[in-house]
Chain A
Amino acid sequence: MGMTISEKILARHAGVDSVEAGQLVICDLDLVMANDVTGPPSIKEFEKIGRPVFDAEKIALIPDHFQPAKDIKSADLAKIMRDFARKNKIKHYYEQGRVGIEHVILPEFGIVAPGMLIIGADSHTCTYGAVNAFSTGVGTTDLAVGLATGKAWFKVPESINVHLTGKKPKNICGKDIILTLIGKIGVDGALYKALEFTGEGVKELSMTDRLTISNMAIEAGAKAGVFPFDEVTQLYVSRRVKKTFEPVTPDADAKYSSTVEINLSELKPVVALPHLPENVKTVEELGEIKINQVVIGSCTNGRLEDLGIAAGILRGRKVHPDVRCIIIPGSQEIYKEAIHCHWIDIFIDAGCVVSCPTCGPCLGGYMGILSAGERCVSTTNRNFRGRMGHVDSEVYLASPFVAAASAITGKISTPEEVL
């Protein structure tokens, strides 16, 4: 019987010819990743096991959540991870000034590649499905065992076939596609399953679109969100990945649990209303919703193309007097490129805050925490109660097109309203 991409990658790493959905397998891992929130407790659990790290070259420790340290306790967390990285000669540890947001830099640095099997102690580890890898989020203890053994157990997931057709319209990007999908299937629509993207519409999508879409697979409950390998993937990885890799293609007779059709041509700018990513409406359907803050950044939409979209809309315009607009490049390379493109000039001239790379406000860490009753349009990934600050604040998830347009008008707006 034919296999999905997920089944093929899990079979290859379990050392067997084939697997099928529902089977439990123990797999060899190509990369084990943690950040400054999840790394320190993982290290504590790892030390209880009493073994050395399985492979110092296959571990990534990324201080991005509360760093540069927002307070003393966060500085302590960073120190635990830094000391561990030095002691164990961890190859992929990056210090502040060289680091960026984990799910932005691992693809950018070419550390993740097609066909790899990756676990990360961060739920958005599913991002790397965009480059044809199978990657999934785990907790502290699974990560600790991964550090010591280089292995993890998996229940082979069924896959939902997300069949993309049509042409991507102007002012629509990956964020509108994934929010539309989550609106259709719900926040548990892919629970215990993988999303696999197929169809002619895939080639319409840039790598940035794909990274945004795979990133938010978890918001539908999915274990992974996997794209096929094509020319876009080839072009992206050929400039970055130095090691050999083996792309994975689904069999023509692969078995999917269901199929969801999305016609890209029909998409409109959407937002997810508080307090769940499935509360998706088109911007046109909304009445006037005034806002206090805009955040453009994060592992979901902090890439160069995202900043370019924001710059295109903010060029020669001003942020609304009642709005704070915070822009966070996802990596140092993106930050530098945005300077070269004069986009940072555009942002500062428009009245935006521009920060160093950090997860910061996305999870209510720092750098843009909301007060009671405040509303934020954000390109981040979650709008749960209290996610960005006070329990009575509100987050509206949107694309960088909608976020930048809303920053100018002071209310949730389509880009057409300002362009």
Chain B
Amino acid sequence: MKIEGKVWRYGDNIDTDVIIPARYLNTFDPAELAKHCMVDIDENFAPNVKAGDVMVGGKNFGCGSSREHAPVAIKASGIPVVIAASFARIFYRNGINIGLPLLEIGDDVKKIRANDVLKIDTATGTIENLTTGDTFKAQPLPPFVQGIADAGGLINYIKTKK
């Protein structure tokens, strides 16, 4: 997937409680979850995010609760990819499992600012910051995990293994 989009930039340790607060977990409808995505740290995100924008965080992105509602809310907001220095383990699995590409780039993330425009190829993990001219390369997935990502998520992957 090739993407060109504007950056919504967040810091370290973005937890799943701020991605989607528990008071909205009485539903698992993606569109409903998207309405409240990031509301506790950024009220501007949900009303203003545009399909194709990208989300960038610091280290340990998605820590805390195992709620898959969090990557679902991000994906349903129109975000096609999340980039971070590192991801919390459960969030990382969940992202791959629902077909939301996650790119881990370590300290290079510091060279990406809010509103920069990035050009991303999720298949190769290459990221070009069109605003600054920097280019980055994400950590590749292990082949087995890449297979799940290529299938568009774990449910599709399992269906092909029948």
Q: Mark A9-31, 1 if CB is under 8 A from B, else 0.
A: 00000000000000010000000
Q: Mark A130-145, 1 if CB is under 8 A from B, else 0.
A: 0000000111111011
Contact stretch, chosen from A86-94, A255-263, A382-390? A382-390
Q: A71, A188, A385 — which one has the most chain B CB atoms within 10 A of its CB?
A: A188
Q: Mark B51-94, 1 if CB is under 8 A from A, else 0.
A: 00000000110011111110100000000000000101110011
Contact stretch, chosen from A42-50, A99-107, A231-239? A42-50
Shortest C-beta distance, B19 to chain A (Å), equals 10
Number of interface residues of B (CB under 8 A): 39
| A38, B153: Cβ atoms closer than 8 Å | no
Across the two chains, which residue of chain B brings its CB closest to A73? B26
| A41, B68: Cβ atoms closer than 8 Å | yes
| A192 surroundings in chain B (CB, below 8 A) | 89
| B155, A74: Cβ atoms closer than 8 Å | no
| B40, A385: Cβ atoms closer than 8 Å | yes
User: Given that A66-B26, A191-B89, A223-B89 are known contacts, is A363 also in contact with B17, CB under 8 Å in the complex?
Assistant: yes
| A191, B94: Cβ atoms closer than 8 Å | no
The size class of the interface chain A forms with chain B is 35 or more
Within 8 A of B (CB), among A392-416: none
The number of A-B residue pairs with CB atoms under 8 Å apart is 127
Contact of B22 among A76, A140, A191, A364 (CB under 8 A): A364
Q: B63, B94, B153 — which one has the most chain A CB atoms within 10 A of its CB?
A: B63
Shortest C-beta distance, B36 to chain A (Å), equals 11
| A141 surroundings in chain B (CB, below 8 A) | 68, 94, 97-98, 153-155
| A123, B66: Cβ atoms closer than 8 Å | yes
- 4 additional A-B residue pairs with CB within 8 Å, beyond A37-B67, A121-B66, A138-B94: A24-B142, A65-B25, A73-B26, A139-B67
| B59 surroundings in chain A (CB, below 8 A) | 188
User: Given that A153-B144, A187-B63 are known contacts, is A38 also in contact with B90, CB under 8 Å in the complex?
Assistant: no
| A148 surroundings in chain B (CB, below 8 A) | 158
Within 8 A of B (CB), among A168-225: 187-188, 191-192, 218, 221, 223
| A364, B21: Cβ atoms closer than 8 Å | yes
| B142 surroundings in chain A (CB, below 8 A) | 24, 155
| A364, B23: Cβ atoms closer than 8 Å | yes
